[in-house]
Amino acid sequence: MEERNTSLLVDSLQSKVEKLIIQHKKAKEDVKQLKDENLFLQNKLSETKIQLTDVNEQNKVLKLAKTLSGKEGKSTDIKLKINELIREIDKCIAKVNS
């Protein structure tokens, strides 16, 4: 009788261990998938930050141009200031890309 109980106990434990192994494999797959998704989202966030910076810089240039355009006889100065800002933006973009 005790041998039968031991056999049932071993079978039960073996079944539980097999279930745990299956759950462990699934959990490992889930973790890998979540890590991949996290990496993708981090890259997307980085790209979005760069785009936001670019848009903000363009906005600054446009606001400055609008402000300066109200002053008569200063179109050459305005163009020079805009070109200076564009060069500064290009330097920033180059630093971000490197």
Residue 62: give the domain boundaries. 2-97
Residue 36: the pLDDT is: 97
Position 28 scores a pLDDT of 97
Q: pLDDT (tens digit, 9 = 90+) per residue, 53-86? A: 999 988 888 887 777 666 555 667 777 778 888 8
Alpha carbon distances (Å) from 95 to 32, 34, 48: 32, 31, 16
Using only the alpha carbons of the chain, give its radius of gyration.
Answer: 32
In total, how many domains does the chain have?
A: 1
Instruction: Say if CB 85 and CB 68 are below 8 A apart.
Output: no
